[in-house]
């Protein structure tokens, strides 16, 4: 039985999503909570692995339960659950406690062919950046990066637009062995919100390691006047990591949404993504930001 989990977390005190021996991770905490409920170990498959300090409001994962585990979900205290899949989220939240830094907002039975990782067609991230004009809000210190400079948001937005499309983003990714850096950046824009904080919205079919934080760092350098608007595309096309800008901290980054095709296309999408990975040995289309 495959269950989809919709997940949110404050990444401040996690060492990223992926389970690591001796370290507190989102995957580790959630799998431990699920194991208490279903009576044995489980393994979560996630849409996009986030690195230490990165947050999520729209993360998606799935878990496969065997017959015995599903029986533990279907019944509780000898009573049959009316909506066992839906009630699982409430039970997980009960295990996690009153004020956890990770929660499961919803659990549902998945349509046939659904794979949280391989069926995804895009991921969306938001980056919050405060400058001198917006000021510092201590209540948002965990999800906002602060730079003590003035930033030109119009120039940053113009630079972001030059990066959209299918490109090799090697200059904006930490290299990983046998992993392609070719991605389709579907949308990238900057604005100021009602409080004056600079907000980046970044959407792509997938992201390679450190890509989002590098993209926002490059545009911040444009906003500060250290780079010209056209420099960010020029640096991209040079295909080499550069010291022309700083990769910004993880604290400002949040995974906000993962997009999936219609139910009838889920299996085909997953098969297509796996085939592409098998063919070129790459991670293309399979992982959101491992960043961060």
Active site residue 51: yes
Q: Using CA atoms, how far apart are residues 272 and 117, in angstroms rounded to an integer?
A: 12
pLDDT at 277: 53
Instruction: Decide if pLDDT at 276 tops 70.
Output: no
Backbone phi, then psi, for 189, in 5-degree steps?
Answer: -150, 155
pLDDT single digits (tens) 200-251: 999 999 999 999 999 999 999 999 999 999 999 999 999 999 999 999 999 9
pLDDT at 53: 97
pLDDT single digits (tens) 60-101: 999 999 999 999 999 876 677 789 999 999 999 999 999 999
pLDDT at 131: 97
**Quick check: pTM over 0.85?**
yes
How buried is 258 (Cβ within 10 angstroms: 0-12 exposed, 13-18 middle, 19+ buried)?
buried
Looking at the chain, the whole-number percentage of residues with pLDDT higher than 70 is 93
Q: Using CA atoms, how far apart are residues 91 and 3, in angstroms rounded to an integer?
A: 14
Contact between 196 and 135 (Cβ < 8 Å): yes
Contact between 112 and 118 (Cβ < 8 Å): no
What tokens were used for 46?
A: 């996630």
The residue annotated as part of the active site, out of 51, 101, 131, 157, is 51
Mean pLDDT of 174-186: 87
Domains and CATH numbers, the chain: 2-109 (3.30.70.580), 122-260 (3.30.70.660)
Smallest CA-to-CA distance from 255 within 68, 43, 108, 51 is with 51
pLDDT at 279: 47
Give the range with max mean pLDDT: 4-13, 71-80, 172-181: 4-13
Q: Using CA atoms, how far apart are residues 47 and 30, in angstroms rounded to an integer?
A: 15
pLDDT at 113: 96
């Amino acid at each position: 039985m495959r269950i989809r989990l919709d997940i949110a977390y404050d990444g401040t005190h996690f060492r990223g999503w992926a389970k690591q021996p001796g370290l507190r991770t989102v995957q580790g905490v959630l799998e431990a909570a699920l194991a208490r409920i279903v009576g044995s170990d489980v393994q979560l498959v996630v849409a996009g692995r986030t690195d230490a300090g990165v947050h999520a409001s729209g993360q998606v994962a799935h878990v496969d339960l065997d017959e015995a585990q599903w029986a533990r979900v279907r019944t509780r205290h000898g009573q049959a659950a009316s909506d066992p899949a839906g009630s699982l989220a409430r039970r997980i939240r009960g295990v996690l406690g009153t004020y956890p830094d990770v929660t499961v907002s919803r659990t549902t039975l998945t349509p046939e062919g659904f794979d949280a990782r391989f069926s995804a067609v895009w991921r969306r991230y938001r980056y919050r950046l405060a400058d001198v004009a917006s000021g510092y809000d201590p209540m948002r210190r965990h999800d906002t990066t602060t730079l003590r400079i003035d930033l030109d948001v119009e120039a940053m937005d113009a630079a972001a637009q030059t990066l959209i499309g299918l490109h090799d983003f090697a200059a904006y990714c930490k290299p990983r062995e046998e992993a392609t850096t070719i991605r389709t950046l579907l949308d990238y824009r900057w604005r100021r919100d009602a409080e004056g904080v600079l907000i980046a919205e970044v959407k792509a079919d997938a992201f390679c390691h450190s890509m989002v934080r590098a993209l926002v760092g490059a545009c911040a350098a444009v906003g500060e006047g250290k780079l010209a608007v056209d420099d960010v595309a020029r640096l991209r096309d040079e295909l080499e990591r550069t010291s022309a800008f700083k990769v910004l901290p993880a604290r400002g980054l949040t995974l906000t949404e993962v997009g999936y095709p219609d139910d009838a296309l889920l299996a085909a999408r997953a098969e297509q993504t796996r085939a592409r990975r098998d063919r070129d040995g790459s991670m293309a289309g399979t992982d959101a930001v491992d960043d961060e």
